[in-house]
A = this chain, B = another copy of it.
C-alpha cells in the first residue's frame, strides 16, 4: 500500500490533478474543464467523480492521505477562493469546506498557485534544503511565494506574497487589480508585450514584431525575435529585467533570501531575462546582500509543476 496525496491545480480553463507519492512521482495525471461549469457545486461533483475514477484505474493499492489545491486567489487560512477574476464563481467560494464533504477524513488544504509553486520548489525542486527563498511566477501576471525559515509566509490574512502588485510607477500602466503601475503590468508575459508596443510606438526601428497584433503577440515571439537580434525585442527584455531586478533587490531587504527562483512562461526566455535582471538586482542591492542571492530558473517542469506544488502543500500539511 503506497501513501499518496492528490494535487489539484485550478486554472481559468482547465483543472489539472495528479496522484502523487512522497518522492514526487506522479502515478496518474489528468485534467478536466473549469470554465464549462457555471455552478461551483457541479464543478466539484465532476472533479470528485474524475478523481475517484483515476484512483480506481491505478493497479497499485494506494491510500490517499491528503488533498492539496493551488488556485488563483486561494486563501490558506480560510480555505476559500476570493474574487478570482478568471473563474466563473464570483465572490468568496468556500472551496475546502465543500470539497471536504467528499473527503471527510483527510486534510484538504488550499493556497494560491504561486505559493504552491514555492512549496513544489522546496520539496521537489531547486530549493530542496533551503530555508529562505522566493519563487516568482511569470505568466499572464506575476505571482510570488515567499519562504522564511522553511515555512511559507501566509501573513495576517493569508494573502502574503503579492509582489506582482508592488508599485513601480505613479500613474503607470493600468492593472487588473484596479491600481496603476503594478509590477506585473511591466514584468510578466503581458507586461513584456505592453513594453514591446510602447517601444514600437516610440522608435522607428524595423522589427518583425510590427507584423503582429497585440492579441496575436506572445512572449515566445518576443524572445525568438530577441535571439535573432531584433532591437525592439532586446530592449524590451532589458527594460523588463531592469524593473524586475530593482524590485527583487527591494524584496531582498525584507526577508534576505538565499535564492530567487523564476518560473513560468516568461522565465523560458532564459538569459534574455536573467542577465539584465541579475545585473540590475546586484547594482541595486544593499551592499551587505551583494553576491549572496542566487537568481535561478526553476527546476520544476512547467507541465506538472502546479500539480506537484499542490501536492507539496498536502505533504507539508501532513508534517504538522
Alpha-carbon distance between A131 and B157 when the two chains are bound, in angstroms: 11
> CB distance B253 to A165 under 8 Å?
yes
Q: Which residue of B lies closest to A163 (CB)?
A: B253
A54 adjacent to chain B (CB < 8 Å): no
Count of A interface residues, CB-CB < 8 Å:
43
Given A284-B167, A284-B179, do A155 and B148 touch, yes or no (CB 8 Å)?
yes
> CB distance B132 to A156 under 8 Å?
yes
Stoichiometry (number of copies):
2
A104 adjacent to chain B (CB < 8 Å): no
> CB distance A246 to B167 under 8 Å?
yes
Q: Which residues of B contact A287 (CB under 8 A)?
A: 177-179
Q: Which residue of B lies closest to A160 (CB)?
A: B256
State how many angstroms separate the Cβ of A239 from the closest Cβ of chain B.
Answer: 13
- Residues of chain A touching chain B, judged by Cβ–Cβ distance below 8 Å, are 82, 131-132, 146, 148-149, 151, 153-167, 170, 177-179, 182, 246, 249-251, 253-258, 284, 286-289, 292
Closest 7 CB pairs of A and B: A155-B256, A160-B256, A165-B286, A156-B258, A132-B156, A254-B254, A162-B253
> What would 17 A/B residue contacts be, using CB atoms closer than 8 Å?
A131-B156, A146-B254, A148-B153, A153-B256, A157-B256, A157-B288, A159-B289, A160-B255, A161-B253, A164-B253, A165-B253, A167-B249, A167-B284, A170-B246, A179-B284, A179-B287, A182-B286
